[in-house]
């Protein structure tokens, strides 16, 4: 596969699935009431209004534009879970709805969706956000990993090629990502992977983890360090890194990661990717899910660490 020429500007397209959007919701106007909290479970319950963008009843998911939620998060477009697919019966894209958002320390979902009497909202056109990027080829399982350079929380330069001979797992996060089933879940899962690999009897020692910010303008070394500390990252085993936006865009695009802002002042919209590279520098595993289990990634890392590096 040949490399395509470098282009100056590339339109960033919307993704219909696996999206966490932190975009402003122009059609929501009412103010949600304060949350109800349950002390025993740290459960918070919010009453929210929004507009349906897309329905995925077979996955028990719905893509929703919702209003600001005071004391919790600003207006967002989010892929949200329902516990029962029947919650989505009779609803269509463009419908205005009310619903409950239930959030714990490590989970979140919605229920009690009810269509309002408001007229159906025409879905907005795709935003035309632009930024300078490299045109890159996609990478799939078995391909050799492209080399990239990052800076960690200590200000040290890190290259992916530095990890040849090691199993490497990396994912993409940003420190302001609020909802527990997205970046916080990815980071909690990586923390579990770190702990399991460090304490595994006769486990591999040639492994490393990376969390790559997709918000380099905000995620300074100090903020990344604070975030890494929150998840007990061992700097010898797990780096939180940044890079120029053009390079973060390139590595993400090679795996189908997309992130953008409809307007420069808006927060980030994004989907999710987690990747494992084996000790020979080849892609072993790619997942677009947020709910992968730590045990599954540990298994992949053990397998990747056993691969013999090539000269």
Q: Is residue 278 part of a domain?
A: yes
Range of the domain at 81: 27-115
Domain boundary among 85, 115, 145: 115
Q: Are residues 89 and 135 in the same domain?
A: no
Task: Round to whole Å and give the CA distance between 4 and 137.
Answer: 8
Same domain, 78 and 101: yes
Indicate whether 294 and 154 sit together in one domain: yes
Would residue 181 count as lying in a domain? yes
Q: Among 44-48, 117-121, 153-157, where is mean pLDDT lowest? A: 117-121
**Could you tell me if 157 and 281 lie in one domain?**
yes
Domain boundary among 81, 115, 149: 115
- The answer on 295 and 153 residing in a single domain is yes
User: Length of the chain in residues, anyone?
Assistant: 311
Q: Are residues 146 and 273 in the same domain?
A: yes
- Number of separate domains in the chain: 2
Residues in CB range of 265: below 8 A, 6 or more apart: none
Same domain, 48 and 190: no
Let me know whether 182 and 253 are in one domain. Answer: yes
257-301: per-residue pLDDT in tens? 888 766 666 667 678 899 999 999 999 999 988 889 999 999 999
Q: Do 38 and 156 belong to one domain? A: no
Mean pLDDT (the chain) is: 83
Phi, psi of 277 (to 5 degrees): -115, 130
pLDDT greater than 50 at residue 203: yes
For the entire predicted model, the pTM comes to: 0.69
| CB-based contact 210:242 (threshold 8 Å) | no
Tokens encoding 286: 């790619």
Residues 77 and 198 in one domain: no
Whether residue 166 lies inside any domain: the answer is yes
Among candidate residues 80, 115, 150, the one where a domain is terminated: 115
Residues 277 and 154 in one domain: yes
Q: Show Cβ contacts of residue 39 under 8 Å, excluding neighbours closer than 6 positions.
A: none
């Amino acid at each position: 596969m040949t490399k395509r020429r470098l282009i100056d500007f590339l339109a960033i397209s919307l993704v219909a699935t696996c999206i966490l959007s932190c975009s402003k919701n122009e059609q929501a106007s009412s103010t949600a009431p304060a949350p109800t909290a349950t002390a025993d479970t740290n459960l918070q319950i919010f009453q929210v209004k929004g507009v349906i963008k897309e329905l995925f009843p077979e996955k028990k998911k719905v893509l929703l534009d919702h209003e600001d939620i005071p004391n919790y998060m600003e207006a967002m477009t989010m892929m949200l879970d329902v516990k029962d697919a029947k919650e989505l019966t009779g609803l269509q894209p463009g419908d205005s709805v009310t619903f409950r958002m239930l959030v714990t320390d490590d989970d979140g979902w919605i229920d009690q969706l009810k269509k309002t009497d408001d007229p159906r909202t025409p879905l907005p056109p795709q935003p035309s956000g632009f930024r300078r990027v490299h045109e890159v080829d996609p990478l799939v399982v078995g391909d050799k990993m492209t080399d990239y350079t990052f800076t960690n929380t200590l200000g040290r330069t890190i290259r992916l090629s530095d990890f040849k001979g090691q199993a490497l797992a990396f994912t993409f996060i940003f420190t302001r990502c609020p909802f527990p089933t997205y970046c916080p879940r990815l980071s909690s899962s990586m923390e579990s992977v770190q702990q399991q690999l460090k304490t595994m009897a006769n486990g591999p020692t040639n492994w490393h983890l990376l969390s790559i910010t997709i918000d380099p303008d905000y995620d300074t070394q100090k903020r990344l360090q604070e975030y890494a500390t929150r998840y007990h990252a061992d700097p010898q085993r797990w780096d939180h890194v940044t890079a120029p936006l053009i390079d973060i865009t390139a590595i993400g695009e090679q795996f189908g990661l997309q992130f953008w802002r409809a307007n420069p002042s808006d927060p980030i919209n994004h989907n999710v990717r987690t990747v494992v590279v084996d000790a020979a520098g080849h892609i072993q595993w790619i997942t677009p899910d947020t709910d992968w289990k730590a045990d599954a990634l540990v298994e992949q890392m053990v397998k990747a660490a056993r691969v013999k590096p090539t000269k």
